[in-house]
Amino acid sequence: MVQHAFAFLSQQRFLGAPPCAGEAPAARFGVAGVAWDGAVTNRPGARFGPNAIRQASQMLCDATHPLFDLSPTTEICDHGDLHLPNTSLETMRTALQAQAQPLMQHQHIVWLGGDHSITLSLLRALRAVHGQPLAVLHFDAHCDTWSDHFGEPSGHGTWVYEAVQEGLVTPQGFVQVGIRSAAQREARDYVDTLGGRVITARELRGLESPSQLAPITAEIRARLDASNAPVYVTLDIDCLDPAFAPGTGTPEPGGLSSAQVLSLLEELCAMQLPFVGMDCVEVSPPYDHAELTAHIAAVCVWTYLCARLAAQPSPWL
């Protein structure tokens, strides 16, 4: 059978942005969807995430951000969803890297997932484009450091382990935020053991405003700065408490509030640090209620874009 992509790719564009034209679009930022959920542990549905996030973004009207007082609408274009093979994880990952890498050479891209397995391909591509390992700001309920996926080499919870093993990331510049799921100590401590930092959801309890979070943001900034590496943000929507983001495959109660995540994104992503891209993954519309999850996902992506526009452009895009 000929290569077959999923049949339900997004029809809308993020914030109503124009489609990206040509190999080197003029817009500084690109948005692209990765409608894949073939590596989830329990409940599928994240393949519908890109479409739902784009749909929710239409509610942001002129998209002028109340903190940064700017709108990203004239600075972005939308590549739509990539046409990926609906086959094995390994084949999809290879195809994703091959399609993502040329886009990253011309633009700062925000990726709409999809399950978290896609991040490994994106890190492989960024590692190749930038010629050095990445620092990573990783929001998640799960550590994603498992060395196997129930006996298989890869799933949506192995990409951190795989990225470390492949030298795609600098462990000292790896920061995890919101971790709280059940996991053996070896997996939970993996990033800490390598010299990175794991900020658990418990450590963040009661800290919500920018001033309350200031010691945390200062520590993260110092770590990212010291890594002297391009910085990638990966936001697994299950970092949020299911009360704020029920539409995800593996919800974990006791998580972050929308205000906590937005405070962290606003404070960190507007800093003069060399951010080179972001993904927002694990939005699973079949489990959503009142489109809550799609809306906070759209707001997180919008906030990231506005924060980067408020900061001075870095030499890494």
Chain residues binding Mn ion by CB under 5 A are 116, 140-142, 144, 236, 238
Instruction: Locate 19 and state its tokens.
Output: 């489609």
Distance of closest approach, residue 250 Cβ to Mn ion, in angstroms? 6
Distance of closest approach, residue 19 Cβ to Mn ion, in angstroms? 29
Residue 267 contacts residue 213 (beta carbons within 8 Å): yes
Instruction: Locate 277 and state its tokens.
Output: 């891209």
Q: What's the CA gap between 268 and 175, in Å, rounded?
A: 12
Which residue, 144 or 162, is less far from Mn ion as judged by CB? 144
Instruction: Locate 249 and state its tokens.
Output: 């495959």
Which residue, 58 or 165, is less far from Mn ion as judged by CB? 165
227 vs 103, 109, 313, CA distance in Å? 25, 22, 19
Distance of closest approach, residue 1 Cβ to Mn ion, in angstroms? 31
Instruction: Locate 73 and state its tokens.
Output: 């609408």
DSSP 19: B
Sheet architecture: strand order including 134-139? 76-81, 29-34, 108-113, 275-281, 231-236, 134-139, 169-179, 197-200
Q: What's the CA gap between 109 and 125, in Å, rounded?
A: 12
Which residue, 11 or 184, is less far from Mn ion as judged by CB? 184
Which residue, 140 or 279, is less far from Mn ion as judged by CB? 140
Which residue, 115 or 208, is less far from Mn ion as judged by CB? 115
Distance of closest approach, residue 287 Cβ to Mn ion, in angstroms? 13
Q: What's the CA gap between 280 and 295, in Å, rounded?
A: 12
Q: What's the CA gap between 162 and 27, in Å, rounded?
A: 32
Which residue, 144 or 208, is less far from Mn ion as judged by CB? 144
The position carrying tokens 């935020």 is: 177
Which residue, 266 or 282, is less far from Mn ion as judged by CB? 282
Which residue, 77 or 177, is less far from Mn ion as judged by CB? 177
Distance of closest approach, residue 145 Cβ to Mn ion, in angstroms? 10
Distance of closest approach, residue 310 Cβ to Mn ion, in angstroms? 27
Distance of closest approach, residue 215 Cβ to Mn ion, in angstroms? 25
DSSP 274: -
Q: Where are the beta strands (DSSP E) in the chain?
A: 29-34, 76-81, 108-113, 134-139, 169-179, 197-200, 231-236, 275-281
Residue 310 contacts residue 70 (beta carbons within 8 Å): yes
Residue 173 contacts residue 220 (beta carbons within 8 Å): no
